[in-house]
Structure 1
């Protein structure tokens, strides 16, 4: 039987210090939690440190803000769950599980010990928020070029290590300069944001969209073959082509040119990117509003 989820609201310094002095006299939980800003490491350290005081067979931590969920140990009949917050800042939810029901005294102790986790989780949350801001394009709310460089390096290694497909789609808005010249840069900004939203609505949850620069976007598709990536690119092209953008008393019809490439055995990251980029420019050279696959 699960204990009803409890909310830990504001935990002030006085409460934190009192809890620390009373309950952690012989334990180094607090200092151990100051060694990392990684959510997984924080929760792992906390659960390991409290295990002798509050034995448990498994744990689950989820944080929807950062799309995080990780588990360790076994799912069991009994559990206790806590939504962790401080000053209206959500810090995720922690659930501990074991075969026997948690006693009232154990729950009181756990709730006191959780005070030591609050501040490290807050620091980790603020750090991750800062990272997200640094890797987000403010206009289109997509990931930026810096984020792309990190993501493709990671996915390139994973695809080669596991012999998995990896594909890229380069997207360029056709005649974008004329939109700025004829309607102004505010209209151009609206067009960029609109195209970004249409692409987001057209791709899968596992695909990642980046603003590569100017009016150019790139989509990273893990475990996706060239044929499947081409199908997704064609879907994007049609969605944008069939969309009418309203600006003031005027309407604009836009189109995009797309280039698609898939990772090959002898590829470097550079050759992989260049092949998709060349395919996109070929689409533009051949009349725009079309998809070209890399040869």
Structure 2
């Protein structure tokens, strides 16, 4: 039977300062943890630094706020779990594993050592929250144009290096200006929010949606060829068409036009984007509510 200890490590300023005062030899751990703001590196450093004091064969760290799971080592039958929190700030959950039970002395020592990890995790959390806000469109909770510019450079480089497919979908709500003019900008905002939601419902975890500007969204599809991208675009188009927005006493049907491009060997960022953008405008010119893919 597993020895699972579900514990909550809540550290206050007082307990943290008291722990430092009586455990000066823990400064080595604290110093090492001050070198990074990346969650995966923090957990790996902590695991390495406590290995002699609390031997373990594996660790798992989960942080639902950032959709993060970091794991390493050989997974065995016995574990101890800690939900980490400081000053009302949730910091994720850490699990250590090994092939024999953790003693009470082990758990007490681990709880003391966790004081070294808590504040570096808090700093990492604040840093990544700020980063997330800087790259998120506040209305639709999709990534923004800045995030897209960063992501497309990275994804094009990875696709070229690994000989993988990469595709783009440009998405534009049909007659959006008319929605704003007739029903008002609040209705326009609702339309954008629901459109983003319906797009997300059709994506894989690896797909990324960005608000490109106005009523326009871009979807970046890693490891997806032209056929796969066109099928996904059609699924999104059909999903948008099948929904109705209720606003006041009115019901509003919306549609969208979508353009698809797939990375070619001689593409620049500009040419890759322009093909999808032009395909989207061709879809509009040909009557809207359709998908046009460039081959």
Q: TM-score, normalising length from structure 1?
A: 0.95
Q: Tell whether the 8 Å contact from 2:6 to 2:82 is kept in structure 1 after alignment.
A: yes
Q: Tell whether the 8 Å contact from 2:56 to 2:96 is kept in structure 1 after alignment.
A: yes
Aligned to 1:140: 140
Q: Distance in 1 between matches of 2:26 and 2:208?
A: 47
Q: Which moved more, 1:151-160 or 1:107-116?
A: 151-160
Secondary structure, in 3 states, of the residue corresponding to 2:90? strand
| Pairing 1:58-69 to 2, within 5 Å after superposition | 58-69=58-69
* 1:107 equivalenced with 2:107 (yes/no): yes
Note the alpha carbon deviations across 1:50-95, whole angstroms, 9 max, x for none.
1111122221111111111121211122222111111232111111
Secondary structure, in 3 states, of the residue corresponding to 1:171? strand
For the structure 1 residues 135 and 51, does the alpha-carbon distance in structure 2 shift closer, same or farther, using more than 3 Å as the test?
A: same
**Aligned-pair distance for 1:6?**
0.4
Aligned to 2:85: 85
Aligned to 1:172: 172
Q: Distance in 1 between matches of 2:76 and 2:241?
A: 52
Aligned to 2:6: 5
The number of aligned residues is: 294
Q: Distance in 2 between matches of 1:154 and 1:267?
A: 14
Q: TM-score, normalising length from structure 2?
A: 0.95
For the structure 1 residues 218 and 2, does the alpha-carbon distance in structure 2 shift closer, same or farther, using more than 3 Å as the test?
A: same
Q: Distance in 1 between matches of 2:26 and 2:84?
A: 25
Aligned to 2:259: 259
Aligned to 2:198: 198
**Aligned-pair distance for 1:27?**
4.6
**Aligned-pair distance for 1:22?**
2.1
Q: Which moved more, 1:137-146 or 1:86-95?
A: 86-95
**Aligned-pair distance for 1:137?**
0.8
Aligned to 2:226: 226
Secondary structure, in 3 states, of the residue corresponding to 2:34? helix
**Aligned-pair distance for 1:161?**
1.4
Let me know the Cα RMSD of the aligned residues. 1.4
Q: Tell whether the 8 Å contact from 1:278 to 1:294 is kept in structure 2 after alignment.
A: no
Q: Tell whether the 8 Å contact from 1:260 to 1:294 is kept in structure 2 after alignment.
A: yes
Aligned to 1:211: 211
**Aligned-pair distance for 1:183?**
1.7
Q: Distance in 1 between matches of 2:287 and 2:60?
A: 53
Q: Which moved more, 1:197-206 or 1:274-283?
A: 197-206
Aligned to 1:33: 33
Secondary structure, in 3 states, of the residue corresponding to 1:169? strand
**Aligned-pair distance for 1:205?**
2.4
Q: Distance in 2 between matches of 1:56 and 1:202?
A: 40
Aligned to 1:289: 289
Note the alpha carbon deviations across 1:226-277, whole angstroms, 9 max, x for none.
1111111111111112222221122222111100111112222221111111
**Aligned-pair distance for 1:124?**
0.8
For the structure 1 residues 2 and 50, does the alpha-carbon distance in structure 2 shift closer, same or farther, using more than 3 Å as the test?
A: same
Secondary structure, in 3 states, of the residue corresponding to 1:55? coil
Aligned to 1:45: 45
